[in-house]
Structure 1
Amino acid sequence: MNRQRTDDRTRNRSRRPRTISISLAERGQTTQDFAVGIGVFLLAIAFVFSFLPSLVTPYESSGGAKTAQADRIADRIVDDLGTGSGNEINFTDYAGDDNLTEEVGLRASSGDVVYDNLNISIKYVNNSTTLNPSTTAGEPYTNQSAASSARIITLENGSNECDPACRLVVRVW
């Protein structure tokens, strides 16, 4: 649109295109929508990561007290049965014994009712098989939920079974 001015000057300017404004109601996403969406997403991720470990743990997990007790018993066995050269032990004192209440300090009543069950076995380092029946003590372990502790040892009798070493495995349930 050309306007005429009072000073008789004429201008021939082309008209500038009009700016098109977008209303907020037609817009796809606002900054606040984005912030709320990211906040909900992060809360959902935090919820999943906080509860995922509790979903995969077994219902009967052995507590910290049982694990500490298994560690204490394994240390006591290595200390009591040690021959003085490294972690070499003489396991013949415990081998085949079913009641190790007094030897390892388990809780028991006056009627010899044992409150804690115990299994001690000596296994090969590279796999989970037991050396022989004379290298187990305590009650039989039948894959129940138990706290365990292991120590690397050698046997005093000089047998080649523990070449170079064996594992002393203590389980408490």
Structure 2
Amino acid sequence: MSISLRDRGQTTQDFVVGIGLFILAVAFVFSFLPTMLTPFDSSTSGGQTAQADRIADRVVHEFSGDSSTPTEIEWDDSYETMDTHEFATEFGLRANDKEVAYDRLNVSLQPLNESTTVVGFGSEYDNQSAASSARIVTVEGIEDPEKCEPACRLVVRIW
């Protein structure tokens, strides 16, 4: 026994509901997909991340002096008085001859289990998007050495 096309039970309303559900499903996928990829999207470039890493290496190297331990640094307070253009010339950031720096730099020491800054220098960092690099260091020459026991995190941010 065969069923004719008139007797099979599919109506125009069934077709409209099916297509409507399909369109809603496609719209949901396209609206949800970008939020799945957002954590992996960064507003900082690979060049900025490499520059932050290079500056962190340079800071550790300059502050280590003649120490036999490469991760032991002697904190230098003279950097705290520098302005933004002096940082640009000292650390190789982009700047022009009119004392305008295009990149901002922040170097800070943070205890290992906290995000508070013990000491630091550079532009004020206010949770804006920035490329960062960190090193674990032991520190001499800071005002409150107990905060960096047994070590501190040297964080370099550039934006």
1:145 Cα offset (Å): 1.3
Q: Distance in 1 between matches of 2:58 and 2:36?
A: 33
Of 44, 56, 80, the match for 1:62: 44
Which residue in 2 is equivalent to 1:171?
A: 157
Which residue number corresponds to residue 74 of structure 1?
56
Question: Are residues 1:151 and 2:138 paired?
Answer: no
- CA separation in 1, counterparts of 2:73 and 2:39? 38
CA gap of 1:136–1:55, structure 2 versus 1, over 3 A, is: closer
In the aligned structure 1, how far is the partner of 2:68 from the partner of 2:103? 30
Q: Is the 8 A contact 1:89 1:156 kept in 2?
A: yes
Are 1:121 and 1:168, in contact at CA under 8 Å, matched by a contact in 2?
yes
Gaps of 5+ in 1: 1-19, 27-42
Q: CA deviation at 1:51?
A: 3.9
Q: Distance in 1 between matches of 2:38 and 2:3?
A: 49
Rounded to whole Å, the distance in 2 between the matches of 1:52 and 1:142 is: 24
- The alpha-carbon distance between structure 1 residues 53 and 75, as it changes in their structure 2 partners (threshold 3 A), is farther
Assess if the C-alpha contact under 8 Å between 1:94 and 1:137 holds in 2: no
Correspondence for 1:102: 89
SS at match of 1:126: coil
Q: Which residue of 2 aligns with 1:137?
A: 121
1:164 is displaced (CA, Å) by: 0.6
Structure 1 segments of 4+ aligned residues over 2 angstroms from their partners: 20-23, 46-58, 156-161
Q: What SS does the corresponding residue of 1:89 show, helix, strand or coil? A: strand
With normalisation by structure 1, the TM-score equals 0.63
State the partner residue of 2:148: 162
1:122 maps to 109
In 2, distance between residues paired with 1:170 and 1:128? 13
CA distance in 1, matches of 2:139, 2:88: 23
SS in 2 for 1:155: strand
CA contact (8 A) 2:106 2:120 kept: yes
What whole-Å deviation, never above 9, does each CA across 1:120-171 have from its counterpart, x for those lacking one?
111111010111xxx2111111221111111101112383331110011111
Separation in 1 of the partners of 2:32 and 2:126?
33
**Secondary structure of 2:76's aligned partner:** helix
CA contact (8 A) 2:74 2:139 kept: yes
* 1:2-38 C-alpha deviation (Å, 9 max, x unpaired): xxxxxxxxxxxxxxxxxx8999xx7xxxxxxxxxxxx
What percentage of residue pairs aligned between the two structures are identical? Answer: 47
TM-score for the superposition, normalised by structure 2: 0.68
Q: Which has the higher helix share?
A: 2
What are the ranges of 5 or more consecutive residues in structure 2 without an aligned counterpart? 9-25
What is the alpha-carbon distance in structure 1 between the residues aligned to residue 57 and residue 130 of structure 2? 18
* C-alpha deviation, 1:84, in angstroms: 3.1
For residues 132 and 154 of structure 2, the distance between their equivalents in structure 1, rounded to whole angstroms, comes to: 10
